[in-house]
């Protein structure tokens, strides 16, 4: 990549400490003349800057990364995350090591022969949802997501009934709180809390997972990556759609949500090898047994 391109530092506007950390890293690494800084919420208005960006450093939690990816992915720019959130499945660096280790990633993007370094580019599948009106062939809204698309009730304490089809074949009518269409990356998010499986994040697939299903299919389904999923609220029900946890729209009567593989992918720079996911899973979810004291001698 060209050295004339800049580096973006993206922070969470609701967490002042993330901007402070970004400014600290920029100052300590003497990057002032090579960077631009913005909040994740301002990224949709930063297309011109993203066209001339070689690396995005996101300082924050997974939610900040998800919001940033939605704006970044069309520009094919890789991301490095500095974890300042609660879980941090997607971030590569801890705040304490950001200054010492970020130069490795800066060096990688400036190299012509990137295969000679331990840094690798990890690509993750994204999904696209189109809200189609009852008449017409053009979507009213198109959204892209790295984690998941959720179609659920638009009213508190109410179920929604959703007619679900896969590849134009009617599957079932869900009466549930919501239906999640998740990527492998999103399998450790909302889909996991709804009872879905944990999937290796670089896998190419989709998960169709109901949330608190009252009737219809209660189990999740693993679908091929090129599947076409259609969801439509039955008469008398109103639904809404969200992408990666951000509410995008309430569905109008007769509208259908069509979910498919996105043409965009999320690109992360990684120093760890792929199997580090299992270590991260252990650390983030606390899966390993803690060491215990040896059992007492029954003879004493």
In a domain, 293, yes or no: no
d(CA 9, CA 300): 62
User: pLDDT digit string (tens) for 51-74?
Assistant: 999 999 999 999 999 999 999 999
Using alpha carbons only, how large is the chain's radius of gyration in Å?
21
In a domain, 12, yes or no: yes
Confidence tier at 29 by pLDDT (50, 70, 90):
very high
Arithmetic mean of pLDDT, 220-240: 95
DSSP-assigned letter for residue 219: S
| Domain identity same for 281 and 204 | no
pLDDT at 174: 95
User: pLDDT digit string (tens) for 169-225?
Assistant: 999 999 999 999 999 999 999 999 999 999 999 999 999 999 999 888 889 999 999
In a domain, 42, yes or no: yes
pLDDT at 134: 87
In a domain, 290, yes or no: no
143 forms beta bridges with 129
| Domain identity same for 140 and 242 | yes
| Domain identity same for 115 and 134 | no
Higher pLDDT, 58 or 135: 58
Crossing angle between the packed helical segments 16-28 and 98-110, to the nearest 10 degrees: 70
User: Helices (H), strands (E): how many in the chain?
Assistant: 6, 16
Lowest mean pLDDT of 44-48, 260-264, 274-278, 281-285, name the range.
281-285
| Total domains, the chain | 2
Higher pLDDT, 284 or 205: 205
DSSP-assigned letter for residue 157: T
Arithmetic mean of pLDDT, 153-158: 73
Place of tokens 């909302």: 190
| Domain identity same for 11 and 112 | yes
Confidence tier at 111 by pLDDT (50, 70, 90):
confident
CA 145 centroid distance within chain: 6
Residues serving a catalytic function are 62
pLDDT at 295: 53
In a domain, 296, yes or no: no
| Domain identity same for 99 and 143 | no
| Domain identity same for 55 and 149 | no
Domain that holds residue 63: 6-119+271-285
In a domain, 209, yes or no: yes
In a domain, 297, yes or no: no
pTM assigned to the model: 0.89
| Domain identity same for 87 and 145 | no
Higher pLDDT, 30 or 282: 30
Decide if 92 contacts 62 (C-beta within 8 A): no
- Residue 64: which region, alpha, beta or left (left: phi > 0; alpha: psi -120 to 50)? alpha
| Domain identity same for 73 and 151 | no
Q: Domain containing 70 — which CATH number?
A: 3.40.50.10330
Query: Any residues with CB less than 8 A from the CB of 284 and at least 6 apart, and which?
Result: 87, 88, 89, 188
| Domain identity same for 20 and 86 | yes
Place of tokens 């094919």: 76
Taking residue 139's Cβ as centre, other Cβ atoms within 10 Å add up to 17
| Domain identity same for 103 and 160 | no
| Domain identity same for 99 and 137 | no
pLDDT at 226: 97
| Domain identity same for 139 and 260 | yes
Higher pLDDT, 199 or 155: 199
DSSP-assigned letter for residue 126: E
**pLDDT at residue 86 greater than cutoff 80:** no
Q: Domain containing 138 — which CATH number?
A: 2.60.200.30
In a domain, 1, yes or no: no
Report which of 141, 139, 160 is spatially closest to residue 151, judged by C-alpha positions.
160
């Amino acid at each position: 990549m060209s050295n004339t391109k800049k580096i973006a530092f993206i922070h969470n506007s609701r967490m002042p400490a993330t901007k402070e950390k970004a400014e600290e890293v920029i100052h300590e690494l003497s990057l002032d003349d090579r960077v631009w800084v913005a909040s994740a919420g301002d990224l949709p208005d930063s297309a011109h800057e993203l066209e001339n960006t070689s690396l995005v450093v996101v300082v924050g939690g997974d939610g900040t990364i998800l919001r940033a990816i939605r704006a970044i992915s069309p520009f094919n720019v890789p991301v490095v995350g500095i974890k300042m959130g609660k879980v941090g499945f997607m971030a590569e660096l801890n705040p304490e090591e950001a200054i010492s280790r970020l130069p490795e990633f800066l060096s990688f993007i400036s190299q012509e022969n990137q295969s000679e370094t331990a840094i690798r580019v990890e690509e993750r599948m994204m999904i696209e949802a189109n809200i189609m009106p009852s008449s017409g062939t053009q979507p009213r809204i198109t959204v892209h997501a790295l984690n998941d698309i959720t179609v659920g009730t638009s009213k508190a304490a109410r179920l929604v009934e959703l007619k679900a089809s896969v590849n134009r074949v009617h599957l079932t009518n869900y009466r549930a709180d919501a239906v999640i269409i998740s990527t492998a990356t999103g399998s450790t998010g909302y889909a996991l809390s709804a009872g879905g499986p944990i999937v290796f994040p670089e896998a190419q697939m989709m998960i169709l997972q109901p949330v608190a299903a009252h009737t219809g299919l209660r189990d999740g389904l693993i679908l091929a990556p090129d599947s076409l999923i259609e969801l439509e609220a039955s008469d008398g029900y109103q639904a809404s759609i969200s992408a990666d946890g951000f509410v995008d729209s309430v569905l109008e009567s007769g509208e259908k949500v069509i979910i498919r593989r996105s043409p965009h992918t999320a690109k992360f720079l990684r120093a760890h090898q792929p199997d580090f996911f299992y270590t991260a899973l252990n650390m983030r979810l606390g899966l390993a047994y803690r060491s215990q004291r040896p059992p007492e001698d029954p003879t004493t």
